[in-house]
């Protein structure tokens, strides 16, 4: 596992696997990333390592492959990055573009967080500990993002639950925020 992810080229991190998602569009004119939103995802719920997350983010999820998929296969969603349980990073959307990860959301009085945020999905679920490899890689990724986008303040890393309270619970109570904030300061 490496924590050096290379450099950004047009918003794409050079040394990570890239799986472009169609579920994105340009950020509003003049808007730059100012926020990182941490999510938790597993598909099917509680199962790890399969192709379903990538399929969901690329609109190729087979609704018949699992009973849970029938309810979500038509969703058009994405995130900028996915951090797998192994520490692998997959990028779906250029950080220069708007990924569709936050939905109805508000941060410090600003609505539509997709406009000004970068979404990072952690492969996991609310009530299961995240892996050591994920924290190491997430800290490295956050540092790289802050270096590329100095507009992301040190206190501008939140959970999906923070910007969509009552609607979302991820990354969940098992996500150890102290592991992130103590290690990703630049």
Rounded mean pLDDT, 77-85: 98
pLDDT of residue 183: 46
Mapping DSSP to helix (H, G, I), strand (E, B) and coil, where does residue 174 land? coil
Which of 25, 9, 49, 15 has the alpha carbon at shortest distance from 137?
15
Whole-number Å distance between alpha carbons of 117 and 84? 20
Contact 178, 139 (CB under 8 A): no
pLDDT band at residue 181 using 50, 70 and 90 as cut-offs: low
| Three-state secondary structure of 97-122 | EEECCCCCCEECCEECHHHHEEEEEE
* DSSP-H helix ranges across the chain: 52-57, 132-148, 160-163, 177-183
Give the number of other Cβ atoms within 10 Å of residue 71's Cβ. Answer: 9
Q: In what order do the strands lie in the sheet with 17-18?
A: 17-18, 89-91, 81-83, 117-123, 35-41, 157-159
pTM, rounded to two decimals: 0.95
pLDDT of residue 122: 98
Catalytic site includes residue 121: yes
pLDDT in tens, 1-49: 456 677 999 999 999 999 999 999 999 999 999 999 999 999 999 999 9
Q: Which tokens go with 112?
A: 């539509």
Is the pLDDT confidence value at 185 over 80?
A: no
Rounded mean pLDDT, 92-101: 98
Q: Which domains does the chain have, with CATH numbers?
A: 21-48+78-183 (3.40.80.10)
Is the pLDDT confidence value at 64 over 50?
A: yes
pLDDT of residue 5: 72
| Per annotation, catalytic residue among 54, 96, 121, 131 | 121
């Amino acid at each position: 596992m490496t924590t050096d992810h290379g450099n950004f080229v047009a918003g794409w991190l050079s040394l990570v696997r890239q799986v472009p998602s169609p579920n994105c569009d340009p950020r509003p004119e003049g808007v730059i990333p100012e926020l990182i939103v941490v999510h938790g995802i597993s598909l099917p719920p509680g199962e790890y390592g399969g192709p379903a997350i990538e399929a969901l983010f690329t609109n190729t999820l087979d609704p018949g492959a699992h009973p849970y998929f029938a309810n979500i296969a038509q969703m058009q969603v994405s995130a900028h990055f996915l951090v797998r349980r192994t520490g692998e990073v997959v990028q779906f959307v250029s950080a220069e573009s708007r990924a569709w990860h936050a939905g109805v959301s508000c941060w410090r009085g600003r609505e539509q967080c997709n406009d000004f945020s970068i979404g990072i999905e952690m492969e996991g679920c609310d009530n299961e500990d995240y892996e050591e490899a994920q924290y190491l890689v997430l800290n490295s990724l956050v540092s790289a993002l802050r270096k590329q986008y100095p507009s992301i303040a040190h206190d501008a890393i939140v959970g999906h639950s923070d910007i969509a309270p009552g609607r979302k619970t991820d990354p969940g109570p098992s996500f150890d925020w102290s592991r992130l904030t103590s290690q990703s300061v630049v």
